[in-house]
Amino acid sequence: MYDPKSLKAEEFIDHEEILASLAYADEHKDDLPLIDEILEKAKLRKGLSHRDASVLLACETPEKVQEIYALAEQIKKDFYGNRIVMFAPLYLSNYCVNGCTYCPYHAINKHIPRKKLTQEEIRAEVIALQDQGHKRLALEAGEDPIHNPIEYILESIQTIYSIKHKNGAIRRVNVNIAATTVENYRKLHDAGIGTYILFQETYHKESYEQLHPWGPKHDYAYHTEAMDRAMEGGIDDVGLGVLFGLDKYRYEFAGILMHAEHLEAVHGVGPHTISVPRICPADDIDPSAFSNAISDDTFAKIVACIRIAVPYTGMIVSTRESQRCRERVLHLGISQISGGSRTSVGGYTEEERPEDTVQFDISDRRSLDEVVCWLMEMGYVPSFCTACYREGRTGDRFMSLCKSGQIQNCCLPNALMTLKEYLQDYASDKTRTLGDTMIQSQLQDIPNEKVRKIVEERLVKIAGGERDFRF
């Protein structure tokens, strides 16, 4: 029985409710009056239920699809402006005891060399990332209680935060590791992590168990209920995601919205982020073996409909996607992207990209500077801001500010100041010239004159060598 307030996975992600929602969407996908009603509801910026959003995703009427895209773009601007937050993944270890059929880290893959970074190697990786200009990392590691225990993750976080190189510093560490216990989530919280990220991979229980034939990840309920344990452990910023292409995309879409509804119903805080990766090539993984792969058009529509349904959430797209695809979905709802990424263990200290330990092939191989320049050429403000996390604006405090629109009073000033830091310390001449022009233009969009004056003063100080101002 479907119950968004239940703490049991099969009740807040109810299979029969998803099937009923998809049947309802099929029945009403051409019902233009209903679609107009749903779009009007969405314009209130309060989000949509998984059932209403499923109708929009199923709709194929061209003019209505364009309305969906236009509304998604406007909602994204209303909540996040023209800012795009930058981050990079850092792979600590590819040791893994699971049997995930879509990931080359699975335990029986004998092609891939296993590697685990020492703390000294982590230090070198972090310095390389700081020298690119990164301030925000997402830690990645396979599930292996012997090689990658929670103590190793905690020590690695401490190492990362301790490194101050030139003007560089990692100011926010997000963590993407396997589902764990309340006690371990409490330890991660106490270590000062930003967001805890865990991809569901698929919400279809039968498919989930087939795709994870053995290993601790095989336990569907334990995995799906992880965010509730994380919240109980004090982590109030959590990030959801599915790997599109493993199962039917409309099922996954409904599932991830139901998960967001569950978090709101139980904890009063929805997902801080939603990621939208697609299955892609990797060492011994052939995407063509997965018959549910989705097209670029379908992918764009998913992004737009998630943005409409969960307007407050940050949306993330990685370098799995090509430059062309990323450009398209930036307009439709994406608010965070990676740049200059390496998906191999120890990849940032190597001049040539090592390919033997990659988790997935990268489509967008541009440097961070190239990505930053590209974003500004399209009119976006690349942001290296980590202020909300460091000022305690997390969980319900962040959500209340975001939903009310008040977060805008902090976001643009912080984005401009962190962009100025990047331009001063790391940018190419072309990027610096473009960025300085953008900053002067964007200053005029800060509505509060007092705040604008403070930002102008701080920009001068940043040019003079001072760092780390924030609202």
Q: How many Å apart are CA 275 and CA 337, to the nearest integer? A: 10
pLDDT of the residue at 293: 86
CATH architecture for residues 80-365? Alpha-Beta Barrel (3.20)
Sign of the CA dihedral 310, 239, 222, 303?
positive
Nearest to 310 by CA among 383, 243, 241, 211: 241
The CA distances from residue 163 to 5, 76, 127, 140, 348, in Å, are 42, 34, 8, 19, 16
Q: Which of 382, 372, 386 is nearest to 468 (CA)?
A: 386
Structure confidence at residue 330 (pLDDT): 97
- Cα angle at 354 between 353 and 360, to 5 degrees? 90
Which residues does residue 174 pair with via DSSP β-bridges, in sequence order?
138
The pLDDT assigned to 354 comes to 62
Mean pLDDT of the chain: 94
Q: State the pLDDT at residue 282.
A: 59
Task: Collect all residues with Cβ–Cβ distance below 8 Å to 229 and sequence separation of at least 6.
Answer: 179, 180, 181, 182, 185
| Banded pLDDT at 374 (limits 50, 70, 90) | very high
How many other CB atoms are found less than 10 A from the CB of residue 147?
Answer: 18
pLDDT > 90 fraction of the chain, expressed in percent and rounded: 83
Q: Which two tokens stand for residue 169?
A: 């510093």
Question: Could you tell me which of 437, 428, 424, 324 has the C-alpha nearest to residue 384?
Answer: 424
Q: Provide the token pair at 25.
A: 């969407």
Q: Would the pLDDT of 281 be above 60? A: no
Contact 323, 374 (CB under 8 A): yes
What's the pTM?
0.94
Residue-range domain boundaries for the chain: 9-76, 80-365, 405-463
What pLDDT, on the 0 to 100 scale, is given for residue 225?
98
